[in-house]
Amino acid sequence: MALSRNFRTTYYKTLGVPVVQHIVDVEASFAALLSERAVNVPQLLKLALELGIAPPYRARIWLLLAGVLPPYPGLWSFALKERCAMFEDVVGAAQVLQAKDVSED
């Protein structure tokens, strides 16, 4: 048995549920959504749930769906820089607190 691209359709077929498959170019669909001026996140979520996420776009889409990146592509580099700075601040604070705990012992 050949592996199905989408395990859900195979599972539904084993249960006898009628499944209509649309032939869709997954990468082109994600490229079109991500190239918009403002990414339609609900539509992106729906597409990801129905078709799976194409590997070249997986990291970026996860960041969008998790709310780490804003839906505006022009702000992505700024948002990532700010998140990195926030992470470095947290790591620095944790190191200070850890050093303080060690010195108190």
Percent of the chain, pLDDT > 90? Answer: 50
The per-residue pLDDT for range 14-59, each reduced to its tens digit, is 766 665 555 557 788 888 899 999 999 999 998 888 888 888 899 9
End-to-end CA gap in the chain: 63
* Alpha-carbon distances of 74 from 11, 37, 42, 50, 66, rounded to whole Å: 40, 8, 19, 27, 18
Q: What CATH code would you report for 1-71?
A: 1.10.10
For residues 99 and 91, give the distance between their C-alpha atoms in angstroms, rounded to a whole number.
Answer: 12
Question: What's the pLDDT score for residue 2?
Answer: 47
In the chain, where are the structural domains located?
Answer: 1-71, 73-105
Average pLDDT, the chain: 84
More confident residue, 98 or 89: 89
Is the distance from CB of 34 to CB of 68 less than 8 angstroms? no
pTM over 0.75: no
